[in-house]
């Protein structure tokens, strides 16, 4: 049941449960957190370098990305965010944003005031640990991306990223078997992998020819998990997901 439209609180809890075990009391507390939702078109800025937000942004539906622009004007996508993620959770303790956050697709966002977060964490110290852990898992993903971009060749790099997206969507119940909704353009994949769009296109073709991916509209299928996992040198340890269903 991919794309089931969950409420902001439900998706947040599902995501946290995938990396941390919440008690029902803690779930209750999360459910009472005030969240204000907002819909957004694709390719809209959510926040920008230099901003000093007083709220966090929960992805409820859609994809967003965090990116930086070099002085030469080149864009690097630093992170992808799927439903359940909070791209600017760091802003709780780093008060000036050093990144841009932009929607990739149409999105439903949930905004949570810093003050409400701080109050909740004060009251439930285990939730502090849960959110801290959430930021640490994202840091772990940054580390794996560094290896991916710094030391893997293009073919493995793309394969690796596709494996990651599948597992992260699976963790929040947004996949259908080996198929998932993949809204990123090849140009966006290029920005995420430190490549050019042209080269991404050529690697996609190679992956298709080798039977590692098949695409139809914006549906991406990874028909042979073992093969693509091997091609991408993919080991899901770094995602620190509790229950690992990689079937």
Partner DNA sequence: CGCAAAATTGAAAACAATCAAATATGGTGG
Partner DNA sequence: CCACCATATTTGATTGTTTTCAATTTTGCG
> What string of DSSP letters covers 78-117?
EEEE-TT--TTGGGGT--S--SEEEESS-EEEEEEEHHHH
CA separation for the pair 241, 171 (Å, rounded): 8
Structure token digits, residue 9: 């609180």
User: Using CA atoms, how far apart are residues 104 and 17, in angstroms rounded to an integer?
Assistant: 25
Interface pick for a copy of itself out of 143, 198, 211, 244 (rule CB under 8 A): 143
Say which entry of DNA, a copy of itself, none residue 185 contacts (CB below 5 to 8 A, set by partner kind): DNA
- Tell me the number of residues near a copy of itself by CB under 8 A: 46
Give the integer Cα–Cα distance in Å for 45 and 37.
Answer: 16
SS (H, E, C) 176-212: ECCEEECCCCHHHHHHHHCCCHHHHHHHHHHHHHCCC
Sheet containing strand 55-61, strands side by side = 36-40, 107-113, 55-61
Asked if 198 interacts with a copy of itself (CB under 8 A), we say: no
The yes or no reply on residue 192 touching DNA (CB under 7 A) is: no
Would you count residue 186 as binding DNA (CB under 7 A)?
Answer: yes
- Using CB under 8 A as the binding rule, whether residue 22 contacts a copy of itself is answered as no
Question: Is there a contact between 99 and 67 (Cβ–Cβ < 8 Å)?
Answer: yes
**Among 6-14, 61-69, 91-99, 191-199, the segment contacting DNA (CB under 7 A):** 191-199
User: What's the closest the beta carbon of residue 147 comes to DNA, in angstroms?
Assistant: 14
- The answer to whether 48 contacts a copy of itself (rule: CB under 8 A) is no
Residue 24 touching a copy of itself (CB under 8 A): no
Residues forming beta bridges with residue 40, ordered by sequence position:
107
Q: Which stretch binds DNA (CB under 7 A): 76-84, 129-137, 150-158, 172-180?
A: 150-158
Determine if 196 is a binding residue for a copy of itself (CB under 8 A).
Answer: no
Secondary structure letter of residue 34 according to DSSP: -
One character per residue 42-71, x = contact with DNA (rule: CB under 7 A): ------------------------------
* Binding-site member from 90, 135, 140, 201 for DNA (CB under 7 A): 201
Q: Is 178 in the site for DNA (CB under 7 A)?
A: no
Select from 54, 19, 40 the least CA-distant residue to 168: 19
The contact set with a copy of itself (CB under 8 A) reads: 49-50, 66, 68, 70-72, 74-76, 78-79, 90, 93-94, 96, 98-99, 122, 125, 128-129, 132-133, 135-140, 142-147, 149-152, 193-194, 233, 237-238, 240
């Amino acid at each position: 049941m991919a794309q089931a439209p969950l409420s902001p609180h439900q998706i947040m809890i599902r995501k946290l449960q995938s990396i941390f075990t919440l008690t029902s009391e803690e779930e209750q507390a999360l459910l009472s957190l005030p969240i204000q939702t907002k819909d957004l078109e694709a390719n809209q800025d959510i926040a920008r370098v230099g901003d000093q937000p007083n709220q966090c942004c929960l992805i409820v539906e859609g994809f967003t990305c965090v990116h930086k622009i070099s002085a030469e004007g080149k864009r690097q996508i630093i992170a992808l965010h799927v439903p359940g993620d909070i791209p600017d959770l760091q802003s709780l303790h780093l008060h000036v944003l050093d990144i841009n956050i932009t929607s990739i697709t149409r999105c439903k966002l949930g905004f949570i005031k810093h003050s409400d977060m701080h109050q909740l964490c004060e009251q439930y110290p285990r939730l502090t640990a849960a959110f801290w852990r959430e930021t640490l898992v994202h840091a772990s993903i940054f580390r794996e991306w560094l290896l991916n971009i710094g030391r893997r060749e293009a073919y493995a790099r793309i394969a690796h990223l596709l494996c990651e997206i599948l597992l992260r969507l699976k963790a929040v119940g947004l996949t259908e078997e080996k198929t998932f909704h993949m809204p990123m353009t090849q140009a966006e994949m290029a920005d995420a992998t430190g490549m050019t769009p042209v080269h991404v296109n050529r690697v996609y073709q190679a992956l298709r020819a080798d039977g590692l991916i098949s695409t139809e509209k914006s549906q991406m299928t990874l028909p042979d998990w073992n093969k693509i996992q091997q091609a991408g040198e993919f080991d899901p340890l770094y995602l620190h997901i509790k229950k690992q269903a990689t079937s």
